[in-house]
Amino acid sequence: MKDQIDTHSKKISNVEKSINPSKIKGDSNKYKEGLVKKWGKEIENFQAQIDKINNYLKKYDK
């Protein structure tokens, strides 16, 4: 999951390089904004999963 966070962070840092122009339908700025929002939410979800796993391990790793 940490690799996915890194991958998504890199995509957000360089959106232009991370998209396929042929997939853009309509306003390219809205398309890019949507991807950044999606990737940001995925980063949040990955981090939440990591936190849950770490909490579980702390609780049961005694």
Number of domains present in the structure of the chain:
1
Look at residue 1 and tell me if it is in a domain.
Answer: yes
Measured in residues, the chain has a length of 62
Number of other residues whose CB lies within 10 A of the CB of residue 43: 19
Domain, as residue range, for 59:
1-9+26-62
Q: Does any domain span residue 44?
A: yes
Which tens digit of pLDDT belongs to each residue from 3-49? Answer: 999 999 999 999 999 998 898 889 999 999 999 999 999 999 999 99
Judged by average pLDDT, the poorest of 13-17, 52-56, 58-62 is 58-62
Residue 50 in any domain: the answer is: yes
- Residue 20 inside a domain? The answer is no
Supply the pTM of this predicted model: 0.82
Cα distance between residue 42 and residue 4, in whole Å? 9
CB 2 within 8 A of CB 22: no
Tell me whether residue 32 is in a domain: yes
